[in-house]
Amino acid sequence: MKKSNRLTVFIIVALFVGIAAGLIYREVYPDEASIKSFSDGISIVTTIFLRLIKMIIAPLVFSTLVVGVAKLGDLKSVGRIGGRTMIWFISATFVSLFWG
């Protein structure tokens, strides 16, 4: 197996393991109160995961923009690309707020 495909395989395997764990738990503990307490207990894992993702996104986007601007060099190109970037960012923000 190639090293680049390893992460994809791990994600797919984890997906099926999660589905199997949910099905097995539902078969072993069929009452709704038990399922509710299990979902409340496991929700902390999803909350932590989503907060970690949000924590990584902002620095990643910022560093990508800074490196991209630094590699351009020409001030005229930076202004033009910066303007396009701001228009794209504002329009995407407007669409997501309108849709949400």
User: What span, in angstroms and rounded, lies between the C-alpha atoms of 71 and 64?
Assistant: 11
Q: How many Cβ atoms from other residues are within 10 Å of residue 38's Cβ?
A: 15
Given this model, what pLDDT does residue 48 score? 92
37, two tokens: 């307490």
What pLDDT is attached to residue 35? 84
Mean pLDDT, consecutive 10-residue stretches, the chain (100 aa), reads: 80 94 89 86 87 86 78 70 80 83
Looking at residue 62, what is its pLDDT?
83
Task: Return the pLDDT at 10.
Answer: 93
**Residue 75: its pLDDT value, please?**
65
pTM beyond 0.95: the answer is: no
